[in-house]
Every structure is written in C-alpha cells, then in structure tokens.
Structure 1
C-alpha cells in the first residue's frame, strides 16, 4: 500500500470547513443519525456522472435517500448465479432490510455510458466489445433498449431515446426480483422512473399510461 497517498490539500481544507460549520451547527442531528441508524424513505439508483446531484435536485438531507450509483443507472436482471452483483445487493438491502417505500431510477441527458452502449451496438467501439471490458459487459444490460430505438434516424433523438430506455430497461429488470414484486403486491413499495435534463434543469417521469416520459 506504499502508493496510497494522503488526500489533496484542497479536500482537506473543504473537510475542515465542513466540520467547523455545517457539522458544528447540526451536531445533534448527525449524532442522531449515527446512533439511531438509517431509515430512508426512498432508494435512488442513479448514474455515477458527477453532474447528477440527486440530493440537490430534490432538496434531500442526510438519511433521506439510500443512494446507489453505477454506470448509466442500470439495474441488471435477477440472476443469482454466484457472481458479485453490487447493484442487485443494494436493491435487496434497500427493499428487504431498510424497507424503503420507493425505488427511483434516475437517468439523465448526455450520459457517457449510454453513448458508449450506442457506439458499441453500432460497431463503433470495438474496445467495449472485448470480453475484458467491464464497461462493455455492464452496458450489455442496455442492449434490449438499443434494439427498440435503433431504427430512429435522427442521431440526437436516438441517443436521447436510449437514455430513457436505460430507465425503462432498469424498471423492467427490477420487476424480475421476487422480493420487489412481493413488496409491490403487498402495497409496501412503488417504483418510479425519471429522466433529468442537466442543462435545462428539467425532470421527466415515466408514465405507464402514456408509455412515455412526461414533464413533472
């Protein structure tokens, strides 16, 4: 571990500023969270993209959201095959242990992971086709969504449609988890699909009735 280095100075300064201000002003609340454990109302599955600031979008405080980030906000299908499934484990923990009332899948505009999937499926990213590509194999989850939009002629429209398919495919895959289906059937859980336009600050939600995304 000799190559592990201390934090950069600017991060240390930011931490010290947080400890002296926000933490100090809310010390009782932080201690409450530490001692009482977490009781989030919702799980949010969102992209790793640094531009997607979920807690800011919804004005959430510590302890309100159980957040899980991955490339392109994807949920894989239920596959108990003994492999390591970080997203599946997070969903299981949120639904069966934390008893969240909502699972929200949040996609976004200009998603690099989605664009990578589109390029891979178009034959323009051979490096992602390689079996050693973690990103490529992860983006295989979205191939069914690509098949639904591949015939759209306008490139920008097709990419945006695939971004929304990343949400829809994930919602479909969520329903393959028995404990998710059971919690919904019992009235203890609801699932939601959202898409966020980063530049415009807009959020759309998936409407099952319209089978489309509509503005909130």
Structure 2
C-alpha cells in the first residue's frame, strides 16, 4: 500500500476524510503551462476569504481543533491550506514554485483543504501517517536535519524517514516534487463536516486537470 494511517490515528480522528492520487510517468513537469488553471483556482481561493479571513472557514477551523488536540498552538503551526490562504490574503497571490506544485497549491487554496505532493521515487515502501518515535530523520528546505518529537504526527516511510512534520503542517525537502520527478503521490486530507464530499470533489477536479495537462501520465485514485 502506498499510503495508510496507523490504527491509533484512525481511532482518535474518526472524522478524517482522505483522497489519494498516484500519478505515474509524468514528464515536462517543469515546463507545462498551468497558468490558466492556477489563475482560476486562485480566484476561487480569494473568493473564499473575500468576506473575512481563512480562520473563519470551517475547513480551517476543523484543522485548528486537530492541532490543538495534538498539543500545538494553531496560530503557530498552521495546516498547509491555511498557510496558503493566509499568504493569498496578505500578498494577493500564491508563490510560484514549479508548475505541478503550483497546481496543487492552488487547488489547496480553492478548496481550503491541505494537499501534499510527494516524489514517490524518494519514498521507501510507501507512507504511513503515525506518531513519531523521535528517531526519524527529517530534511528541511534549508539543508538542516531534524528529528520529530516523540508522539508528533508524521508521514513516515519504511526507512524511518519523516516526509512531513506535524501532520499537514510542513513537508520535507527530501521528497518534494522537483523538475526530475516522474512518480507522484498526492494526498488531500480534511476534518470538517462535509469533508468526505469536498475531498471527493477535489480529487475529481485534480484528476481531470492533471489528465488534461499531462495526457501521457497515468492517474489513478488510491486508497488509505
């Protein structure tokens, strides 16, 4: 299995809904023009926060409650979608990283749901969302090596490498999608009242868009 959760997390967070996509054989990941799609999705993100802030959205409020239950300050450690919407509100746009990443980020903002994209060729034996032992290795984007705190929720692989810290808060540089990536695992997670329906809509939208932009790639929905 490419992606799964520990049973203890399933038991503690029964409201969790997850969508998983496996994209294989993707090419021209850095050259494909995604500008029109990103612009449309970013506009949807702006509309979400037009009458207030990202903190008012039920999707974000649900993740804030989860972070509080994990013993984290929600305003210090934000889920990925909240961080993107906050930046969109303050700066008027989202940062451009790489076309494929830009697409995933704009989808995350449009749905207010965290979306993670991992280079599967850099992941050993699939990902398990579980609590850390404290011995796992996490590579930061600044080049430093960290070790998650024991009990922290991480995305871990078979070699005890942490590919994300604090659940949906921060991904690792080690498996970040790059211009050399050909095999991607996309994970969308939500906790709010209509999470199941909204995650399903997000996955359908992202699947259709990826197939249009990268028609040679294989896109299939996974399980969690």
TM superposition score normalised by structure 1: 0.29
- TM-score, normalised to structure 2, is 0.28
The answer to which structure has the higher helix fraction is: 1
Rg larger for: 1
